[in-house]
Structure 1
Amino acid sequence: MSVPVIGAALALEDLRIYRDWIVEKQRDLELQSFVDAKVLMSDWADLAAAHKELLDGYTGRLGIHGPFWGFTLHSIDPEIRDVVRRRVAQGLDVCEALGATSMVLHSPYTTWDYNNIDNYANGRSSVIGNTHDTLAAAVKRAEDMGVTLVLENIEDINPADRRILAESFDSVAVKLSVDTGHAHYAHGSTGAPPVDYYIRHAGEMLGHVHLQDADGYADRHWALGQGTIRWHAVFAAIKATGADPRLILELRDKAGLPASMEYLAREGLGQ
């Protein structure tokens, strides 16, 4: 039985180490060198060129993690939304320079929202409306570029909220990302459903998965097998969606990549 090929999220220094492993099976690759505003505000042409040189011969699915530090997509402050629009546009500039076809953006939904969003008559529509105001131009540009913006769960407790937001764009350029460790944290610490439920809720809109293990208490980004996530349930849920998401190991310590792959191979879940 065929099992999925697993990729990884790497910054430049990590790509130098794992480049041959990535290219060997043309694994999904997510570059994480461009998340910082200081990088995006600088002349990053040399940094992009260094990535492109390492990726000579790579023909797999290339993406980046977009900017996220210090802001949310649904800020009530219109001047903050101006800044966020600029950061997202800079992320798309990077995609254009590298030939990347996916960019991860963080969900706007918070733990506070879960308990309080319906305290306000326009609570739900405000989140969706402000996010649309922030991303409208980026979504149109992503469509033209052939880039998919994937919305990753962060504090999300109800995975249905993020799907409703993604569907509201009615665009092929907006899909969902599930971060397994974030979902497991939310399950263990804030009463959210288990990780496989997040996958199943995403359904055919699942475009991307961050694979990381955790303990249900914090955002650990451990090697797979070191935490308490039920991986067989997760991969069964991925298969059941019928989607073909990018499967990305996102580990804090990249030295855990071989052990994670050994675990997946041993369990018959990935290669």
Structure 2
Amino acid sequence: MTSDRTLIHLDHLTFSDSNVSGWAFRELTNWWGATQNKVPGVERPSGVGAFQRRRATRRSRVISFQARYRGSSAAEVERAYDELAAIGADMPARMGVTTDDGTSWRTVIVEQQDAQSTHNRRYGWVDVDVTADDPRRYGDAEWLTTDPPSAGVGLVWPVVWPAVWPGGGSPGRVTLVNDGRAPSPSSFVLRGGFDTAVVTCVETGDRVGFARPLPEGSVVTFDAETRRALLNGQDASRWLRYRQWTDVPGLSSRTFQFDVTGATGSPSMSGRVLPAWW
């Protein structure tokens, strides 16, 4: 059974489209659909139409909704106003929308919250305007993990037929699937120890490397969206090599190879791509 209900999530607050106590909302605008193309057309001076554009680049997205709080007193409404005003006041916030098709989210900057005076009433309205610098919306996805490549056991000759091929070994690869319809950046978490590491996209040959020893217990993160690396939470982008970042196209997949030198302990790589939509 479906609920036919839409929910907005802004950081830790949830807004319902039903007439309930607490937070509710109306008039959510610009959550779905594509934003304006930034690549201008150039008209042919002596021909029909314009020169053909090879691609489109989308603008950031401005999203708005009206929030309403219904409480037991005007003082409660004012306290709710203060709680909402603290969200995104000095840093980006996460905004999600839940429908019967699931939950998708964006990272947003809160541009403005225009709150009406309560006039001693037990309810009040707030106009909320946010901007998503990345216009795409995302879903969640699982991390896939692999060890570096390793050989299998192999057969011992002469072979007695029918032969049973032994197992073991690892190709050192993960295949990341983007179920959305927009290209999505890939992320990787590398765990030591090793001297150097390279992550290679099998289909394109694009590579991102880390040219610094990573001891056991340390973690470095590659983020294709920010084009940065974090070592135990601190910026380590100066040790990046190649920097050939790869997005996974919509309704497609990419396979990534994990190679290291000077392996110690149990190094591994985890990869993830979030399904993305315009």
TM-score of the superposed pair, with normalisation by structure 2: 0.30
* Between structures 1 and 2, the one with greater strand share: 2
